[in-house]
Amino acid sequence: MLCQNCGKNEATTHIKRIVDGESAELHLCSSCAQHLGYSVLFSGFGSNIGGLLSRFFPEAVLPSAAEESERCPGCGASFDEIVRTGMMGCAECYDVFYDRLKPSLSRIHGRATHIGKTGTSVDDRTERRAEIRALEADLKTAVAAEEFEQAAVLRDRLRDLKGETT
């Protein structure tokens, strides 16, 4: 997309204004954005990320020389760089710096391990297994009590759940 001001350069600054419920978009190249005064809007925006993260990673403020020299073998990032930028260099950083990340991850997310979501098929299989175990226990009890009619009903239900045929 070309700059809407000069029409020559590629637009790198995209501004959306909403005034009285109506939105207007402006796409500018970096020089036009600077000339029109839009470059100062975001100055210093990312410069205080380290200060923000130092609240979550207080133990990283004064790392020891050994800790500072430790770097991720995957990307070469140090723990200090991760705290300063607020970004992991790669997935391996989680393993390398786990001990120092764990307290902060627990504070931020409530736990340090990812639980994730389970699909409905997993829930269905779990419920089916639990029902099978309960029916097998009931079947054993019915046979022990010599309630053979009830045992036959339970046996048939178990076969249906397990997908067996007679």
Tokens 């036959």 sit on residue: 152
Q: Which domain holds residue 30?
A: 1-43
Do 30 and 4 belong to one domain? Answer: yes
DSSP characters over 89-152: SSTHHHHHTHHHHHHHHHHHHSSSS------HHHHHHHHHHHHHHHHHHHHHHHHHTT-HHHHH
Q: How many domains does the chain have?
A: 3
**How would you write the pLDDT of the chain (166 residues) with one tens digit per residue?**
898 989 898 888 888 877 777 888 888 888 887 777 765 444 444 445 555 555 555 554 444 554 456 888 888 888 888 777 777 778 888 888 888 877 777 776 666 566 666 555 666 777 888 888 999 999 999 999 999 999 999 999 898 888 865 5
d(CA 6, CA 85): 34
Q: Given this model, what pLDDT does residue 39 score?
A: 56
pTM: 0.31
22 found inside a domain? yes
d(CA 142, CA 132): 15
115 found inside a domain? no
Please provide residue 24's backbone torsions phi and psi, each rounded to the nearest 5 degrees: -135, 135
Do 101 and 53 belong to one domain? Answer: yes
Looking at 64, 81, 109, the residue that finishes a domain is 109
Q: Given this model, what pLDDT does residue 151 score?
A: 92
How far is the CA of 146 from the CAs of 68, 134, 152, 153, in angstroms? 73, 18, 11, 13
